[in-house]
Chains A and B, each alone.
Chain A
Amino acid sequence: NAGVTQTPKFQVLKTGQSMTLQCAQDMNHEYMSWYRQDPGMGLRLIHYSVGAGITDQGEVPNGYNVSRSTTEDFPLRLLSAAPSQTSVYFCASSYKGHGGREQYFGPGTRLTVT
């Protein structure tokens, strides 16, 4: 199994540009999520999905859109990039369960917005 994969690894955008961060998992996990990591702030939840066709907002959803058309894929779209979105983005997945299932993280995408 490849686990959780993310593309691209690095990206530089200009303010106002849009782009999609890709995330895929091959473990048949029901739950998927996007986090952003900023120094000293840990990881913050952007959006999450508990199954195909179902998404919900996390702690910091503004400026981001998601969709979940298949179990495997969970892309994150930046609609109009801003310097405040400079961060490292992690996708994660886990099995559905009673809440004690650990999450599996992708390697991350480092995004710089100038």
Chain B
Amino acid sequence: AQSVAQPEDQVNVAEGNPLTVKCTYSVSGNPYLFWYVQYPNRGLQFLLKYITGDNLVKGSYGFEAEFNKSQTSFHLKKPSALVSDSALYFCAVRVHNAGNMLTFGGGTRLMVKP
């Protein structure tokens, strides 16, 4: 069975500094990996995905993620954080043999301080 781990419950960063939100995964076969963001009292919004190809994936709002097969990681990054990036971030992997359904990590709360 597949699984996703987000080792940090919360990440604090100052505005303008680079940010990293960590994610590791466990799947059999090739992973399909996703990042979603959730703002307060809202549903999840898609940020970016890795299916195949270049290990550095660029997504919405200036976010990017680096796929590392040897370390089974898919960390989310942004060169310069904004206060408006403060939200709950989820890493997810596609469930095997269940369409496009996902297994999610526990989520990481990102707090960007002015």
A residues with a Cβ closer than 8 A to B are 4, 31, 33, 35, 40-45, 48, 50, 56, 58-59, 90, 92, 94-97, 99-108
Contacts and interface: CB of A to CB of B under 8 A. Distances in A.
A107 B43 contact: yes
A45 B1 CA distance: 14
Interface string B36-68: 100001111110010100000000000000000
B95 interface: yes
A45 B102 contact: yes
Given A90-B44, A105-B45, A106-B43, A45 B95 contact: yes
Interface residues of B, number: 28
B35 to A, nearest CB: 10
Contacts, number: 78
Given A97-B100, A99-B32, A102-B34, A4 B90 contact: no
Given A42-B90, A43-B104, A50 B43 contact: no
A58 B102 CA distance: 10
A103 B46 contact: yes
